[in-house]
Amino acid sequence: MKKTVTIKDIDCANCAAKIERDVQKINGVKSASLNFFGQRLQFECDEEDYERIAKEIVHCAKKVEPDCVILGL
C-alpha cells in the first residue's frame, strides 16, 4: 500500500533528510520519500505491516523533530 502523510514543523532540510533515511531503514518499508517544502512523507509498505510501521515512523520523526506534528497516519 502507498500512503502519504503530512509532517509539519520540520525545521530544516537536513532534519527532513534524516527522517527520510530513518524511515527507509524501517523493516517492511519498501520506499520512502520526504519532501521538506511540501511537508509530505510518501511511503510504501504491506498493509499487514502498516500499524507497526506507522508507530515507528512517529518514533523516527519525533526523535529528530520532537515538536513536529504528523497528520494522516
CATH code, 57: 3.30.70.100
Q: What's the domain range around 65?
A: 2-71
pLDDT at 73 over 90: no
Q: What is the pLDDT of residue 60?
A: 95
What stretches of the chain adopt beta strand conformation (E)? 2-8, 29-35, 40-45, 69-71
Domain count, the chain: 1
- pLDDT band of residue 21 (cuts 50, 70, 90) is very high
pLDDT at 1 over 90: yes
Is the alpha carbon torsion for 39, 33, 58, 23 positive or negative? negative
Q: What is the pLDDT of residue 25?
A: 97
Residue type for position 73: L
Query: pLDDT tens digits for 32-63?
Result: 999 999 999 999 999 999 999 999 999 999 99
Residue partners of 48: CB distance under 8 A and separation at least 6 = none
